[in-house]
Amino acid sequence: MEKIAMTTPLVEMDGDEMTRVLWQMIKDELLLPFIDLKTEYYDLGLKNRNDTDDRVTVESAEATLRLGVAVKCATITPNAARVDEFKLRKMYKSPNGTIRAILNGTVFRTPIIVKGISPCVGGWKEPITIARHAYGDVYQNVEEKVSAGDKAELVITHADGTKEVRLIHDFAEGDGIVQSVHNMNSSIESFARSCFNYALDQKKDLWFGAKDTISKQYDHTFKDIFAEVFEKEYKDKFKDAGIEYFYSLIDDIVARIMKSKGGMIWACKNYDGDVMSDMISSAFGSLAMMTSVLVSPSGVYEFEAAHGTVQRHYYKHLAGEETSTNSVATIFAWTGALRKRGELDGINALVKFANKLELATTLTIEEGKMTKDLAMITSFSDTVTLNSHDFIRAVRKTLENLI
């Protein structure tokens, strides 16, 4: 069989621990035999980040802006224990944070649905994609504990030096707490554009909720900016695509989501997205079955699995023990990137291959062959639990039958 040719390379960001092991297996078993794979390779493994003083992370993000599509393996975000373990020169920032700041993007997380692993919510038939705004609010807050007799005020110093002071609370009665948060119109606009673009890309409805009735300035600004950007730039495109933008109060959105059959993209403010994405992933079954894509407002894509490096499994692997680590989300990161590359470069064979590999992956599970994490939660009774490598080999077999 002739291998599928590529024109533009993908940005390939290698990573750490167990997912780095899966990464190589996926390439060897599922990609290289079928595709004349072209990638620009960046090693984001922690050792190389330390060796390059984290330049490699910045360079991989810049390459993504240049080439348009990246696929990323999970990476370690260093903490104090990792600084000791890897003898790091410093506690480097999260690579995902660094990449997101350079691409100025929004993260969309979507569960992978297979028969035999049913969502907790019976009515959900299609995946729900969560889009989380990743700037401001409580994540960049300023907060204080205050004592009885203190007075908390909001002070705005205007450009001309004049001050506007508003009372937040007079703590005459006793001790308390106070917090201030901010956001930027430009960031909200970028978020809105990323969401509208991704909805058009996926041909799915976009829902957004905030608490504008209570927060008449702050949350209302989110609502207004979304409405304005939609009206000016997207209304006609949505109409042509046959999709809808729907805004409502966040509590109404939550209630409607529970009763929906799924299939929409749900844009969330930073905190709502933090909380709701964990709810959605556990309700759909498993973090190991969740894909993630970072989309910039200019239309650059970076695909990855939503889970981490699965450290516990890696230490078993290093000790020579068998592992049964789920590679599905990492396979889907590759298929997402290959499909997007194929679409952008007009290589239909690449798009078809990505679709077939996804189908082969879900079919393999639906035939009862799966890793341990899924075997523990499936409704199927006669399943075969496979180790990390054998699962990928089983997908290869299914794929060969499809091709």
Handedness of CA 14, 19, 20, 26 (dihedral sign): negative
Tokens 């996804």, residue?
358
Q: Using alpha carbons only, what angle is made at residue 287 by residues 337 and 27, rounded to the nearest 5 degrees? A: 35
Give the interface size with ligand NAP as a residue count (CB under 6 A). Answer: 17
**Rounded Cα–Cα distance for residues 344 and 351 (Å):** 10
- Say if strands 290-295 and 301-305 run parallel, antiparallel, or are unpaired: antiparallel
Q: Which residue is nearest to ligand NAP (CB)?
A: 308
307 interacts with ligand NAP by CB under 6 A? yes
Stretch that binds ligand NAP, among 24-32, 75-83, 129-137, 145-153 (CB under 6 A): 75-83
Distances from the Cα of 189 to the Cα of 227, 230, 284, 362, 396, angstroms: 10, 10, 30, 36, 43
Tally of CA atoms within 13 A in the half-sphere of 220 that contains its CB: 5
Q: Which is nearer to ligand NAP, 39 or 75 (CB)?
A: 75
Please identify, using beta-carbon distances, which residue of 63 and 306 lies nearer to Mg ion.
306
Q: Is 337 in the site for ligand NAP (CB under 6 A)?
A: no
| Nearest distance in Å: CB 278, Mg ion | 5
Interaction of residue 76 with ligand NAP, rule CB under 6 A: yes
Rule CB under 6 A: is residue 70 a binding residue for ligand NAP? no
**Alpha helices, DSSP H only, in 159-269?**
185-202, 218-229, 235-241, 250-259
CB closer to ligand NAP out of 35 and 76: 76
In this structure, the number of other CB atoms found within 10 A of the CB of residue 298 comes to 14
Footprint (CB under 6 A) of ligand NAP, residues 87-116: 96
Beta strands in 75-234 (DSSP E): 106-111, 129-132, 142-146, 151-157, 163-170, 176-180, 206-210
Task: Examine residue 75 and tell whether it contacts ligand NAP (CB under 6 A).
Answer: yes
Residues found near Mg ion in the complex (CB under 5 A):
274, 278
287 forms part of the interface with ligand NAP (CB under 6 A) = yes
Pairing outcome for strands 35-36 and 39-43: unpaired
Q: Which of 117, 190, 373, 389 binds ligand NAP (CB under 6 A)?
A: 373
Contact 54, 25 (CB under 8 A): no
Nearer to Mg ion, 75 or 371 (CB): 75
Residue 189 binds which one of Mg ion, ligand NAP, none, with CB within 5 to 8 A depending on kind? none
Residue 187 binds which entry of Mg ion, ligand NAP, none, CB below 5-8 Å type-dependent: none
In angstroms, give the least distance from the CB of 275 to Mg ion. 6
Smallest separation (angstroms) from ligand NAP to the CB of 16: 7
Q: Which is nearer to Mg ion, 109 or 341 (CB)?
A: 109
For 37, 75, 244, 372, the CA distances from 305, given in Å and listed in that order, are: 20, 11, 28, 18
x-or-dash string of contact with ligand NAP, 228-267, rule CB under 6 A: ----------------------------------------
What residues make contact with ligand NAP under the rule CB under 6 A?
A: 74-77, 96, 287-288, 304, 307-312, 325-326, 373
